[in-house]
Amino acid sequence: MDRVQALDILAESDVISRVLLRPASGLQRLIITGAHWHGEEPGPLKRKLFTGGVRWPILRELRVGEGLLPHDANLVQVLAMCPNLEHLKCHIPEEGAVLKSSITNYVPRLRFVSFRGKTFQLAKVLPHLRAVREVEIKAALQRIPLFSALSSLLPKLIARDEIDPVVAALIGFPEVRLRLERSSRTCHVACRQDVLWLLVQDQFFGSITSLILVTNLPQKPLPAAPVLRTLTLLHTRDKRDTHSTFFDWQNYKSAWQTPALQTVCFGWLPETRRNDRHVVSISRQWLVSLLQDVFTFSADRRLPSLIIQNVELVDGEVKGEVVLKDLVEKVDVVQDLDWDPWAAIVPSSP
C-alpha cells in the first residue's frame, strides 16, 4: 500500500477496512464503494479506521460511497486523516458531530465538496462551507417527501460574501446551479416550492448576467434583473405530459425589467428531444407578443440576438402588424442535439 498513489476499491466493508488500515503514505486519490449483495446496503467501515490514527498525509481526493461512514462517525476525524485534501465527496453521517467552524480550518486546501444527507444535516453544515470554491449538495430523496421544504438549504447555499455575487444560474426542478464570481454552488433534488422561492428574491437577480430557466414561473412578477444579458428558456415535458416554461409566459402579465438584455434563447432540452418524436413549435407572432409585452422591445430598442435551439419556428405573422424583424436584429434557428445550455454560458474550468 505504501507504493499506491491512486486506489478505487469496490468490496464488502470488512474487506475495505482491512485494506485501508494498512499504511499508505503515498496515497493521493481514494474512491471507496461498498458492494451491494442481493440488493442489501453495504455495512459501515470499521470505526478503528477513523479512531486508530490512520493518516493519508498527501491525499488530494476522497470519495466515500453511501452507507460506508458509521452513523456516528465524526466528520472532523475524517478530515484529520487527510490534512491536504482538495476534493471531498461523501454522505454525511446521521449522528456524526457537525463542524464547529469553517471546514477549511481542518483542510485548508479544500476546493470541492459534495455532500449528501438529510435536509437538517445539510442545513447545519452549509454555513461552514462558505470558503470552499465549489460546493454541491443533494438531499437524500428516500428520506424526504418530494415536496417537503428545502428553503432552509437554498439561502445557506448561496450565502457567501458581498464581493462574490451570483452571476450565472440554471434554475430548474429538480436542480439549481449557481455560478458566482469566484465559486460555484449546485443543489440537486431541489423542490419546486423552493425553486419558486428563489425566483422572487430581489438580491439574487441584482447581479445575474446569464440565466437559464427550466421551471414554472411564480405567481408574482419576477424581480428586476438590471444586468441580465443572456436569457435561456428551456422547454420540457413534465410527468403529466404537459409542456412547461415556454407557455408559462402566455399567462405572465407583467413587464420584466431587463434593460441590459442582449440575447434570448428558446431551446428544448437535448435529452427530452432524443426521447420524444414530437417537435415543439413557436409561432413568430407569439414571440412578437412576448418580446413586446414582457421584455418591452420595440423598433427603438431591438433585441440584438434571438436563438431558436432545437425548436421549430413557424409562420404566424399578420400583414400590417409588428413582425419579428421589427424587434430583433438577428435570428438564428439551430438544430444541435449535443447542445449543452449550461456550457454555453459558463466556460469550463481550466
CA gap 125, 78 in Å, rounded: 15
**Mean of the pLDDT values across residues 172-190?**
87
CB atoms within 10 A of CB 334: 12
pLDDT exceeds 60 at position 174: yes
**Mean of the pLDDT values across residues 48-75?**
89
At residue 239 the predicted structure's pLDDT band, cuts being 50, 70 and 90, is very low
Scanning the chain, the segments in alpha helix (DSSP H) are 13-20, 48-51, 75-80, 119-125, 154-158, 192-198, 202-205, 270-274, 284-293, 324-327, 341-345
pLDDT exceeds 60 at position 120: yes
Domain range list for the chain: 209-332
The CA distances from residue 161 to 9, 166, 176, 182, in Å, are 39, 10, 19, 11
pLDDT exceeds 60 at position 242: no
